[in-house]
A and B are shown apart, each in its own frame.
Chain A
Amino acid sequence: MTTPALIFKRDSLLLYGGLLVASLAAPFVFADYTFQFTVLWVMILFAVTWDLLGGQMGYNSLGNIFFFGAGMYICAIVQIGLYYDVAEYTAASGEVHVEFTTRQYYTGLILGTIAAAVLSALFAVVFGYIVFGLRGPYFAIGTLGVALSAGELTGAWQYIGGGGGISLPVFPGEPDDRALFFYFLCFSLAAVTFFVLRKIYTGRFGLAINAIRDDEAKAEGMGIQTVRYKTIAWSISAFFLGISGALFGNMIGFIEPLEVAFPTVTFGIFMVVMCLLGGKGTMWGPVVGATLFHAFKEVTWTYMLGWQWVALGALIIVLVVFFQQGVMGWVQEKWPERFGIVVDDAAAQAGPDLDDGTRRREAAQ
């Protein structure tokens, strides 16, 4: 694997500038699609945070969506709990009309988001203690179990609304302002996440988690505190996922355990698929994958109603079976010079053999 930091070095200024302008202009140029663009930023955030574990650290989690839902519910409880009694509010299920002043709304949102981020990261530490002893498929199934059971438990917990869900405080302002407000929040969050992760990957931390991916036992032998690194990596991922959950919940306005907060078999799997599509273990792969996947999803949702899930399942199979390296992986293979990878003929000859050996070793495990 190559260091992703070198990608697009020459054109980086042009690239980032262009993307910035496009992202700022998008909600004004295509005003009808602001909601879709906002979801796209959340998807990109999903993909890059999943890649921190799945791509860079080699731990394929199927349960990262847990932090998204946890963040959403924590934020909702804080927002409501600051001014009302949560149990009364949820028991009334929207029948009692409650007013949040503008000041109350923003205070609640800010405090709720902070609480969501911090508590999600704490959850990651706790669950890391439970699941990081599991390897390979057991880790994937274990995390899937955590996320699924969280959804079921939340559905049975009447204090926070149970299966009926909670409606969140209403945004004080015009619907158009609301859409723009959440668009820019999600955009900034995704951008911040991207650059934080980029910074992390280039340093010592990135090297350590890459070492864990390549060979955990050896990494530990070299003196890397693997458990500590794994937990920190998961907390970082959870931190941003928690914030995204808080924002997403407020954008939707109504949260419910199985479809909105803990959509394990939809968003939870999408984040994996997006990374695979774009190419996991690269910086831009998840971003490209998320964009392509979101576009594909919206097109199938619009034109193949009823068959969209079949199309999506088929896409997952095709991706996993035939196109594992993803878009970025494919591009890197095709034009390695553009990524600062020097192709040495002798090394290229030796390359396939080495790959074959690794694969055989993996198969033997």
Chain B
Amino acid sequence: MLDNITLLIQAPVLNVQLLLDGLFVGAIFALAAYGLALVWGVMNVKNLAQGDFVIMGGYIAWWLQKYAGIHPIFGLPVAMLVMFGFGWAIYVIIISRVIGKDLFTSLLATFGLALVISQLLNLAFGPEVQVAESGFAINTLFGGMVTVASIKFISLVLAAILAGMVVTFMKISRMGQAIRATAQDPRAAKVMGIDTERVYAFTFALNAAICGAAGALISMIWVIQPFFGIAHSIRSFVIVTAAGLGNLPGVIMAGLGLGAAEIYAGFIFGAELQQFTVVGLLVAVLVWRQIQYSRHRQVVQ
């Protein structure tokens, strides 16, 4: 561990490498977390299957590339479309029945869903780790000390474009306005003639589509595996809890920060503690929020 830290100090260029890697994956974490925050804020459903949606999107892009020869970048919109339909179906079958029940219900129901998705993926594609090959060049910076694949830049740009599109959609389009209205007050929205049931279905499907896109990007720049879903779900929860609901800049910052923290921890403590970093950060963020709240409570008293 100490060796790794001295290595970082002696070769500062390594920091650039780690930071860049962290930011590239962090941008995608932020994308998935934004979807989680959307569903959480609008319909008060905590989706523990979020990460499995991501992995599912990744497998769609990977499958298209492997068996149909479609480049993963073009597989991305396909993954989004498929996941949109899938999300809508899941909403109608499961989620519509857990809205309005107590808070724990949605957590457990989506956990069951996560179990089913990851196992079906495992049965269909096997437990091996997969990568969707994009075939782009790998660039070197700083005289070969830092390597960055072009696909990582492309995925960062794509993630930014996607996020921009979703935000513009929420701001300008009628459906986006309806979603925001429903989030503020479902009953008032209903009175104003908004079909809240449709808004909920659309929101959940939109979230699934965002996850699908994030998954396609992950499959290109990182790895996918049927059981990696839970880690992605926890990452999304960490980011949303740290940033708070409806705080887009916060989600982006927390996402990038988490990505960097995870890559750094993986380098310094070794790969076996990389998972722990994510979960440990979750606990740390919750505790920190709690201290904040208790201070707030004392002020109110």
Partner-B contacts on A (CB < 8 A): 60, 62, 130-131, 133-134, 136-138, 140-142, 145-146, 148-149, 152-153, 155-156, 163, 265, 269, 272-273, 276, 306-307, 309-310, 312-317, 320-322, 324, 359-360, 362-363, 365
With known contacts A138-B241, A313-B112, A307–B123 Cβ distance under 8 A: yes
- Is B3 located at the chain interface by the 8 A CB criterion? no
| B283 touching A146, Cβ below 8 Å | yes
Question: Given contacts A138-B241, A141-B241, A317-B94, could you give 9 more A-B pairs where the C-beta distance is less than 8 Å?
Answer: A138-B289, A141-B46, A145-B279, A309-B115, A313-B113, A314-B116, A316-B108, A320-B112, A363-B100
What number of A-B contacts does a CB cutoff of 8 Å give? 119
Assuming the contacts A137-B104, A310-B120, asked whether A316 and B283 have C-beta atoms less than 8 A apart, the reply is no
| CA gap between A16 and B290 in the complex, in Å | 45
Query: A316 touches which one: B102, B109, B273 (CB < 8 A)?
Result: B109
Chain B contact patch, size range: 35 or more
The answer on a CB contact under 8 Å between A60 and B104 is yes
Asked if A317 and B101 make an inter-chain contact with CB atoms under 8 angstroms apart, the answer reads no
Given contacts A149-B280, A152-B279, contact A320 B105 (CB under 8 A): yes
In the complex, the chain B residue whose C-beta lies closest to that of A140 is B107
What are 18 contact pairs spanning A and B, CB under 8 A?
A130-B290, A133-B294, A141-B286, A142-B286, A148-B234, A152-B279, A156-B276, A163-B272, A273-B108, A306-B123, A307-B123, A313-B112, A313-B114, A317-B112, A317-B113, A317-B116, A320-B108, A321-B94
A133 touches B290 (CB 8 A): yes
Task: Name the residue of chain A whose CB is nearest to the CB of B112.
Answer: A316
- Chain B residues with Cβ below 8 Å from A130 are 283, 287, 290
Q: Given contacts A309-B119, A310-B116, are A136 and B104 in contact (CB under 8 A)?
A: yes
- The answer for the CA separation of A309 and B270 in the assembled complex, in Å, is 31
Residue of A nearest to B281 (CB): A145
Contact A276 B108 (CB under 8 A): yes
Distance, CA A362 to CA B283, complexed state (A): 25
Does B273 contact A156, Cβ atoms closer than 8 Å?
yes
| Chain A residue with the shortest CB-CB distance to B122 | A309
Q: Which residue of A lies closest to B97 (CB)?
A: A321
Interface residue? B98 (CB, 8 A): yes
Hey, which chain A residues are within 8 Å of B269, CB to CB? Answer: 156
Known: A152-B279, A310-B116, A321-B97. A137 touches B107 (CB 8 A): yes
Contact assessment for B115 and A312 in the assembled complex, using a CB-CB cutoff below 8 Å? yes
Contact with A along B123-160 (1 / 0, CB 8 A): 10000000000000000000000000000000000000
Bound together, the chains give a CA A62 to CA B233 distance in angstroms of 15
CA distance A148 to B277 in the complex (A): 11
Are A265 and B272 within 8 A (Cβ)? no
Q: How far is the CA of A321 from the CA of B109 in the complex (A)?
A: 7
User: Are B98 and A155 neighbours in the complex by a CB distance under 8 Å?
Assistant: no
Q: Which of B24-78 contact A (CB under 8 A)?
A: 44, 46
Cβ of B237 < 8 Å from any Cβ of A?
yes
Which residues of chain A are near B108, meaning CB under 8 Å? 272-273, 276, 316, 320
Contact A362–B98 (Cβ < 8 Å): no
Residues of B within 8 A of A145 (CB): 234, 279-280, 282-283, 286
CB distance from A336 to the nearest CB of B (A): 23
Q: Is B103 among interface residues, defined by CB-CB distance under 8 A? A: yes
Q: Please determine whether B123 and A316 come into contact, CB atoms closer than 8 angstroms.
A: no
Please name all residues of chain A whose beta carbon is closer than 8 Å to the beta carbon of B169 when the two chains form the complex.
none
CB within 8 Å for A321 and B98 given contacts A156-B273, A313-B116: yes
Closest to A63 in B: B283
Selected from B99, B101, B123, B283, the residue in CB contact (under 8 A) with A149 is: B283
The verdict on A320 contacting B234 (CB below 8 Å), with A133-B290, A136-B104, A309-B115 known, is no
Q: Which of B94, B102, B282, B294 gathers most chain A CB within 10 Å? A: B102
Within 8 Å CB of B294, what residues of A? 133
Smallest distance from the beta carbon of B43 to chain A beta carbons, Å? 10
Q: Given the complex, which residues of B lie within 8 Å of A359, measured CB to CB?
A: 100-101
Q: How far is the CB of B276 from the nearest CB of chain A, in Å?
A: 4
Inter-chain contact A149/B279, CB cutoff 8 Å: yes
Collect the chain B residues with CB atoms within 8 Å of residue A148's CB. Answer: 234, 279
In the assembly, what is the distance between CA of A152 and CA of B230, in Å? Answer: 14
| Chain B nearest Cβ from A165, distance in angstroms | 14
A152 CA to B269 CA, complexed, in Å: 13
* List of B residues within 8 angstroms of A142 by Cβ: 282-283, 286-287
B184 at interface (Cβ–Cβ under 8 A)? no
**In residues 261-287 of chain B, which contact A (Cβ within 8 Å)?**
269-270, 272-273, 275-276, 279-280, 282-283, 286-287
